[in-house]
């Protein structure tokens, strides 16, 4: 977490967005330890409940207008990624949703897009099959000069990339993109 946030050069002047925030540890650390305004975006209501509990435990508010927010948003429809694009497990129908709860859950999508367009630093962890559709959307949506860091999976067709130097030996591949 801290290796990635330091690689993004997070400061209290940043709006940090964690796209695919999972349990929220990156967004929480950016807000609590670096003083950044921070937004975590995820498709899973269950994970966002964990995020909010972790923030509450840390004594940080997630209320609208606060330094830390967690948003429920399925970015798939916004980037042209449909559930049918994903390989289905052998036992599931081909059009099975990636997240059964997500079909009717996109209440924060507009706020998520606004956060992305205003972000100065973005962390992305997305599956490789999503990255080819996510990359053009991000490059259109984010502000010039924003710093983007990906874990494991590269942003195809993005330029101005650099491998993040000085990673611990047990750290997976991080790539920083300068827009």
- Per-residue pLDDT reduced to its tens digit, 56-97: 999 999 998 999 999 998 887 777 776 555 554 444 333 333
Tokens at 29, concatenated? 């650390």
pTM of the model: 0.78
Q: What is the pLDDT of residues 120-160, one digit of tens each?
A: 999 987 777 787 888 888 878 888 788 888 876 666 555 55
> 10 Å Cβ neighbour count for 77?
13
Regarding predicted confidence, which is higher, 179 or 73?
Answer: 73
Query: Partners of 178 in the beta sheet?
Result: 147
């Amino acid at each position: 977490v801290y290796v990635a946030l330091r690689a993004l050069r997070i400061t209290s002047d940043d709006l940090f967005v964690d796209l695919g925030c999972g349990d929220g540890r990156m967004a929480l650390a950016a807000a609590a330890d670096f003083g950044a305004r921070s937004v975590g975006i995820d498709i899973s209501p269950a994970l966002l409940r964990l995020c909010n509990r972790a923030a509450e435990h840390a004594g940080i508010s997630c209320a609208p207008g606060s330094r830390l927010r967690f948003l429920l948003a399925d970015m798939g429809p916004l980037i042209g990624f449909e559930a049918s694009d994903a390989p289905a497990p052998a036992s599931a129908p081909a059009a099975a949703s990636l997240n059964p709860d997500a079909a009717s859950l996109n209440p924060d999508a507009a706020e998520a897009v606004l956060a992305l367009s205003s972000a100065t630093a973005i962390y992305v962890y997305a599956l490789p099959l999503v990255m080819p559709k996510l990359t053009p959307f991000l490059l259109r949506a984010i502000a010039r000069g924003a710093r983007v860091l990906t874990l494991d999976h590269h942003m195809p067709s993005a330029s101005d990339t650099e491998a993040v130097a000085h990673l611990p030996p047990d750290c997976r591949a991080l790539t920083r993109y300068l827009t």
